[in-house]
């Protein structure tokens, strides 16, 4: 269901971007690129914004500055994107863990939570060693606990949740693009 974006108790949000949230392996980058291509938006990934600005990789930031240091970079990346228009923005899975990021996500655009079960997330992330939080001997268990802890935060942040388990990336991208088209079209013209 497409939620009503014109909550009369809040000033109307002007939605120009699509913001993807969800755990590692939920498909934010793959789906985000497909959606951007299909609707003619640019694609941006907050992890790329961070690595460019910091001049080092995400694993290096974690090992030199800790997770807390990484979260500061992440908020700075969000702030840096605030003037973007017509972008699909894929965010890191932990962006919702900082309460001050939630209003920034909402301000940035229409927020879509790509949900998948921990088993699927594990299968999708097992091939890569790029995620510091999964470099341990029980990445599947880590994904389960992260999902438990973060699900209420994704729920709070999102305008739309898509369960991706049984869908191809193309199906998710198609559904997302269509939903966003409707949501953007429902906006009242700026006064």
Q: Could you tell me which stretch among 33-41, 105-113, 125-133, 166-174 binds ligand S3P (CB under 6 A)?
A: 125-133
User: Cβ 24 to ligand S3P, closest distance in Å?
Assistant: 4
Nearest to 154 by CA among 46, 26, 41, 22: 22
What does the per-residue mask of binding to ligand S3P show for 137-176, with x meaning CB under 6 A? ----------------------------------------
CA distance 145 to 165: 18
CA distance 156 to 140: 24
Does 61 bind ligand S3P (CB under 6 A)? Our answer is: no
Does 131 bind ligand S3P (CB under 6 A)? Our answer is: yes
Residue that has been written with the tokens 């594990």 in this structure: 122
CA distance 4 to 28: 24
Q: In this chain, which of 15, 18, 27, 47 binds ligand S3P, going by CB under 6 A? A: 47
Does 24 bind ligand S3P (CB under 6 A)? Our answer is: yes
CA distance 171 to 24: 19
Q: In this chain, which of 32, 93, 109, 118 binds ligand S3P, going by CB under 6 A? A: 93
Number of other CB atoms surrounding residue 99 within 10 Å: 9
Residue that has been written with the tokens 């974006």 in this structure: 5
What does the per-residue mask of binding to ligand S3P show for 25-44, with x meaning CB under 6 A? ---x----------------
Q: What is the three-class DSSP state of 85? A: coil
Site residues for ligand S3P per CB under 6 A: 24, 28, 47, 58, 92-94, 131-133
């Amino acid at each position: 269901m497409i939620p009503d974006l014109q909550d009369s108790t809040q000033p109307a949000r002007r939605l120009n971007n699509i913001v993807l949230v969800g755990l590692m392996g939920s498909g934010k980058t793959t789906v985000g690129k497909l959606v951007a291509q299909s609707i003619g938006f640019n694609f941006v990934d907050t992890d790329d914004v961070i690595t460019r600005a910091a001049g080092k990789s995400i694993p290096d930031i974690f090992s030199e500055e800790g997770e807390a240091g990484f979260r500061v970079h992440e908020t700075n990346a969000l702030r840096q994107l605030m003037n973007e228009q017509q972008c699909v923005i894929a965010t890191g899975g932990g962006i919702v863990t900082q309460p001050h990021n939630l209003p920034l996500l909402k301000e940035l655009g229409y927020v879509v939570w790509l949900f998948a079960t921990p088993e699927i997330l594990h299968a999708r992330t097992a091939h890569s060693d790029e995620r510091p939080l999964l470099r341990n001997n029980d990445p599947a268990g880590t994904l389960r606990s992260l999902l438990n802890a973060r699900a209420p935060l994704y729920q709070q942040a999102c305008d739309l949740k898509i369960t991706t388990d049984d869908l191809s990336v193309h199906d998710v991208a198609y559904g997302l693009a269509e939903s966003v088209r409707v949501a953007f079209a429902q906006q009242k013209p700026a006064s």
